[in-house]
Chains A and B, each alone.
Chain A
Amino acid sequence: MRTLGVVLQVVLLIVLAPYLVGLMRQVRAVMEGRAGAGVGQPWRDLCKLFRKEPISPAGSSWVFAAAPAVLVSTSLVIAAVGPFVATVSPLDGVADLFAVVALLLLGTVALALAGLDTGTAFGGMGASREITVAALAEPTILLAGFALSARVGSTNLAAIVERGQQAPGAVLSPAWLLAAVALAVVVIAEAGRLPVDNPSTHLELTMIHEAMVLEYSGRDLALVEFASALRLTVLLGLWSSLFLPWGVATSVSPPALLIGVVAFAVKVAVLGVVLATGEVFMAKLRLFRVPELLAGSFLFGLLAVSSSFFLA
C-alpha cells in the first residue's frame, strides 16, 4: 500500500508536469490578450518531439547524449522521495531536504556540462550563467532548510511537513514565513522563471537555460523539456508541501491518498497561476542584478534562522 502511494505520486507528477507548463502559458496568453495554445499543448509537443531523431553536434561526446537522461532521472528520483502526496512512504529515509537539493544541483550540472560540450559560445555562456545562479542559490536553500529543520529536529522532509500539519501555528511563525520568502526566490531561480530567467526567450543577453539546450533536438529535446517541466512541478510541490502542508496524506488509506492527490494538484495549479500572473507584470532582471536578488534571499534565510532561534 505504501509502495502504491509512491507509484501514484510519481505517475501523478509525470502526468501533471507538462499540464502545469501548459496552464502557466495559457494564463499568460489570456492575460496578454492572446488566444493561447491550450493547456495540453506541451504534452502534444513532447509526443511529437519524442518521435523525432536526436542530433548531436559534431565534436561533442557521450556527455551531451547522456545529460538528458541524468536530468530526467534526478527529477524522477526527487518525485519519488518527496512528500508530495503522502508523508508515509517506504522511501522516506532515502533522501532528506539536503539530498533533494543536491540532486536538483546534479541535474543542473549535467545540463551545464552538456552546454559546454557543444563547444559553442552559447552553450558555454548558458552553462556559466546557470552554474553561477545555482552556486549563489545554494546557501539560501540550506539556510532556509536550517530554519525549518532546526525547530523540527530533523531535516527529513516528511517530518517537517507533519510538524507543519500538527502545529499550524508553526507555519505562521516568523521563521517559516521568512524561510518561505527565501525559498520562493530560490524556486524561481532554480526553475528558471522571470525575473531570473525567461523560459520563452531566445536572446543572447538574457538566455540562461535556453542557451544550454539550443543544440538539443528530437528525443533529447523532449527529455530536456519534460525534465524542466518536472523540475518546476517538483519545486512548486516542495514549496507547497513545506509551507502549505494541508492535505498531504499522513496515512495510506485510499480516501487520504485521494485527498492528497487533489490537494497537491490544486496547490501546484494555484501556485503556477500566481507565478504566471506575476510574470506578466514583470521584466527580466539584468543578469548581474540576479546575484543581488539572491543575496537578498540569503538575507531572508539568515533572518529566518535567527528568528527560529530568538523568537521560538
Chain B
Amino acid sequence: MTIGWALLGVLVVAGLGALGAFSCGPRRRALIAGLSTLAVGALGVAAGLLALAGRTFSTTIPALLPLSEASIAVDALSGVFCLLIGGVAVVAGIYCVGYFGAGHAGSRSAQGLLPLFVAAMILVPVAGNVTTFLVLWELMALASLALVLAEHRLRPAVREAGVWYGAMTHAGLVAILLGLALFASKAGGESFDALRGADLPETSRSIIFILTFVGFGSKAGLVPLHVWLPRAHPEAPSPVSALMSAAMVKLGLYGVLRVGLDLLGGGPRWWWLLVLIVGGVSALYGVLQASVAVDLKRLLGYSTTENLGLIFLGVGAGGMFAAGGNRTLASLLMAAAVLHALNHAGFKTLLFLGAGSVLRSTGVRDLDSLGGLVSRMPATAALFGVGALAAAALPPGNGFVSEWLLVQGLIHGLPGADAVVAVAMPLAVGVVALTAGLGVATFVKAFGVGFLARPRSESAASATESPRSMRAAMLLAAVVCVGLAVVPAALGPMLAQVLGTLPTVRDGSPVRGGVTLRLTGIQGSMSPLLILAGLLAVALVVVALARRGLPRRTSLVWGCGGTRLDPRMEYTATSFAEPLTRVFDDVLRPENDVDVTHHAESQYLIESVQYRQRVDDRLEAALYPPVLAAGNKLGVLIGRLQNGSTHRYLALGLAGLITVLVVVGLTA
C-alpha cells in the first residue's frame, strides 16, 4: 500500500461510514460508526507509518476547490501526526461500538459525523497548500463542534460549551487565516513549497508567526485561550472528548512546528521565548486548576492544557537553542516535545475512555460522589490506574520518559549560556518540576477518590463493569502506553525522521539505545525497562515471602471509638485538594459558602452545616468579560446601521466601494 491509497481510503471509508451510520437503524448504527472510525484510524496509522519509514507523497487535484487547487504533501512531520490521530481513532472506534451500542446518547448525527471528524483530522497535516489546509481545518472544526453539541438535549451546559467552543475555534481560524493569507500574498504563492522558499522581511515574518501562533495556540488550549477546553471536553460524549483532547489539540502543535520551524524556517529567539513562556504559564495554570477540579472530565481537560503547555515549553526551549545554533539541544527538546505529544495522546485517550466508562455506568462525573469502583468495575479501575500513573509522570509510566527528556534538554543548556538562557532554563525546570509535583497530586486524587474506598453515592454503589468492546479499547490504549514507556529508545529513528523535516533543528537521532535510553551528544541515560523489571522483581519477592506467613484477614476499620462508618466520613476530592487550595490561595481564589442552619429551639444548637467550595477560572473571569462587553457594544453600534432601509444599504455599499478604490489608488 502507498500513502496515496491510504489517504484515499481514509476519505472513502469515512464517507461510506457516515452514510451508513446516518441511514441505519439505532442497533446497527453504533457498529457501523465504530468500525468505520476504526478503519479510518487504521488507514491513518498506515499512512503515518509509511511516511515515517521515509516515503513521501504529493499530489494536486486541480478542480476540487474553487479558485485554487487541492494539494496534498506528506512528509515525516505529517506522518507522525497521522499516526497519532489514527492511533487514537482506532481505540476510540472500538470503544464507540460498546459506548453508543448501550444506548448512551447515541444521537444519529454524532455517530455519523465521527468518521468524518477523524478523516478531517488525519487530512489536516497532509495538506500541501494554504487553501487545502484551511478548508480541512474548518471541516475539522465544524465536525467537532457538532460532536460537542451531540448531547444538547440532555443538559443545558452543552449549549453553553458549544457556543464557547464555536466562538473560540473560529476566532482561532480567523487568526490562522490572516496569518497564512499574509504569508501567501507576500510569498507570491500558496503552496507550502512556495512559502518555504519565500524570502520575507523580518517584520512580516514575525507578524505571520504571532498570528498563526495565536490560532494554533487556541486550538492547543494554551492559556489564556484555553477557556473552551474545560467546557467542551466534559460536555462532549467521552470518545469524542478522547479524540479532541488526545488528537485534535495536537494539531495546534503541528501548526506551530509546520509554520514556525518548517515554512518560516525558524526565527529570532524572542519568538521561541514567547512560546516557552506561554507554554510554561499554561502548564502551571492547567495543573493548578486540575489539582483542585472536582469534575473528573474537567480535571482531564485542564490536564490537557497542562500537558500541551509542557509540550510547547519544550518546543519554545528547542526553538531558542535552534535560533542560537545549538542543534544537539534543539533536537533533543523537539524530540521530547514530539514524544510527549505521543505519550499524552496515549494516556489521555485511556483516561477519557476510563472516565466515559465510569460516566456510562454511574451517570456521575463528580468525584465527590464516586468511590468504591475498584471492586465494582475492576478492569476500568485498573486501566484508569495505568493512565493515571502515566499522566502523573511517574516511572514506569510513559509520561515520565518524555518529561525526563524535557528536563535533560533544559539542564544541559546552562553551560556556556548567555543571560536570557541562564534565567529562562532554571525557571523552566522549576515550572516542569512544580507541574510534575502537582500532577501527581491531581492523579492521586482522581484515582484515589474516584475509584478507591467506599462508594459515596447510590449510583456509584450500583455501578457495573462496561461492555467488552469498551474494555478492549482501554486495554489497547494501556498496552500502547506501556510499550511507549518501556522501550522509548525504539522511537529514536522515527524521531530523527520527524526532526529531519525541520531545517534549523535537523541533527540526526536525538535518542538511541535499546534497553537503556541514551542521549546523543550529551551525557545522560536512563532505563525505564530495567527500572520496571527491578520494581517487579522486588515486589514478587516480597509477595512470595508474604505467602508463607499467616493469611490476610479482613476486619472493621478503626472508627475512632464508633463502629458505624459512614461514607460521608471519607475524604472527598474537595477535602483532598484543600491543603493545595490553601497554599495557592492567591492564585486560585476559591469561593467558600458555609450555610449554618440553627435549631428552631435554640441559637446554640446547630441542625445542619452545608459547606460548598467553588474554584472559578480566574483568568477567564479577568480577561473575557471586558472583551465580550466590548464585542456587545460594537454589535449594538453596528446594529444601528441596519434599520431595514434599502436606500441606506445601497449608500453604505457605495461608500464601501469608494473607500476601497481610494485605498487601492493610494497604495498602488
Contacts and interface: CB of A to CB of B under 8 A. Distances in A.
B372 A54 contact: no
A43 interface: no
B407 A120 contact: no
A99 B526 contact: yes
Contacts of A143: 426, 429-430, 433
A109 B391 CA distance: 13
A164 B639 CA distance: 74
Interface string A102-117: 1101100100110011
B448 interface: yes
A181 interface: no
Contact of B432 (A134, A142, A159): A142
B422 A309 contact: yes
A155 interface: yes
Contacts, number: 263
A140 B575 CA distance: 26
A146 interface: yes
Interface string B565-583: 1010111000111111011
Interface centre among B537, B551, B580 (most CB of A within 10 A): B580
Interface string A80-117: 11000000000101111011001101100100110011
B535 A70 contact: yes
A69 B412 CA distance: 36
A79 to B, nearest CB: 10
B417 interface: yes
B526 A123 contact: no
Interface stretch (A21-29, A56-64, A266-274): A56-64
Given A139-B437, A215-B558, A298 B523 contact: no
Classify chain A: how many residues form its interface, as a range. Answer: 35 or more
Nearest to B579: A132
Interface in B328-355: none
Contacts of A53: 549-553
Interface residues of B, number: 82
Nearest to A124: B571
A69 B434 contact: no
Contacts of B518: 93
A256 interface: no
Contacts of A112: 444, 448
Given A53-B549, A109-B444, A298-B430, A136 B437 contact: yes
Contact of B569 (A56, A70, A121, A214): A121
Interface stretch (A31-39, A238-246, A300-308): A300-308
A124 B571 CA distance: 5
Interface stretch (B103-111, B298-306, B538-546): B538-546
Interface of B: 291, 371-372, 374-375, 392-395, 400, 404, 407-408, 411-412, 414-415, 417, 422, 426, 429-430, 432-434, 436-438, 440-441, 444-445, 447-449, 452-454, 516, 518, 522-527, 530-531, 534-539, 542-543, 546, 549-560, 565, 567, 569-571, 575-580, 582-583
19 contacts: A56-B554, A58-B556, A59-B372, A59-B454, A73-B538, A93-B527, A102-B404, A109-B444, A117-B448, A119-B557, A128-B571, A135-B291, A135-B438, A136-B434, A156-B524, A288-B582, A298-B430, A302-B426, A305-B414
Interface of A: 50-63, 65-66, 68-70, 72-74, 76-77, 80-81, 91, 93-96, 98-99, 102-103, 105-106, 109, 112-113, 116-121, 123-125, 127-129, 131-132, 134-143, 146, 149-151, 153-156, 159, 214-215, 218-219, 223, 287-288, 291, 298, 301-302, 305-306, 308-310
Instruction: State the 4 A-B residue pairs at the shortest beta-carbon distance, nearest first.
Output: A124-B571, A138-B437, A135-B437, A73-B538
